[in-house]
A and B are shown apart, each in its own frame.
Chain A
């Protein structure tokens, strides 16, 4: 199975400041069709997860442009340009290149 490792596991951030979360996979996530099926999800307290980014860097419908994704191969990053109060929650990366799909452990974003 592909292991997804996120860092940090906890990220205290000041409102209005940037935040960055890293996700590393134990093997390349490039699929045979040339796509890389790495996505990012946000889970606010008491809510189901919500898709933010798919295929490394594509923002899903309705996602604010302060969220961006980047990376390639085995190393990926989610960035929030200016953290807002509503961004508090846990962020997960997920790979869908190889079954079984796997998630990172989650990164808890909190306000300082």
Chain B
């Protein structure tokens, strides 16, 4: 059974940094692209970033480009999202998802990031 478990969320001040992790199990992690999607309170879904299976390709939403960095450690079956220069509008639940066939086939439960002074 595919399992994705996000961690690392919390309260951070504007301008601060946070690193999210997503521990994967139940599938061959190194064979799949991985995706971060966020959802602000009461709002819809926003695609944040994607990383290719081997880690050589990374892609970002314009709203986070230059501030967020996606990475992965295939030896640890873990996906990361380093978030710097955080803004109020980055407040959201952050989900990691497994990518396949141009879709997000499995999702974690999410971790809440709150940016506030």
Contact = CB atoms under 8 A, between A and B. Distances in A.
Interface of A: 1, 31, 35, 37, 39, 41, 43, 48-51, 54-55, 58, 60, 90, 92, 94, 96-97, 99-106
B98 to A, nearest CB: 10
Interface of B: 35, 37, 44-47, 50, 59-62, 95, 99, 101-110
A99 B102 contact: no
B47 to A, nearest CB: 4
Given A94-B47, A99-B59, A103-B44, A51 B102 contact: no
Contact of A96 (B46, B95, B103, B107): B103
Contacts of B35: 101
A94 B104 contact: yes
Nearest to B57: A99
Contact of A105 (B44, B60, B104, B110): B44
Task: Summarize B's interface: helix, strand, loop or mixed.
Answer: strand
A46 to B, nearest CB: 10
A102 B37 CA distance: 10
Nearest to B6: A48
B105 A103 contact: no
A60 B46 contact: no
A48 B103 contact: no
A104 to B, nearest CB: 8
A106 B95 contact: no
A49 B104 CA distance: 9
Given A48-B110, A49-B95, A103 B46 contact: yes
Sorted nearest first, the 10 A-B pairs with minimum C-beta distance are A37-B102, A54-B103, A96-B102, A39-B103, A101-B47, A48-B107, A106-B44, A103-B45, A99-B59, A100-B61
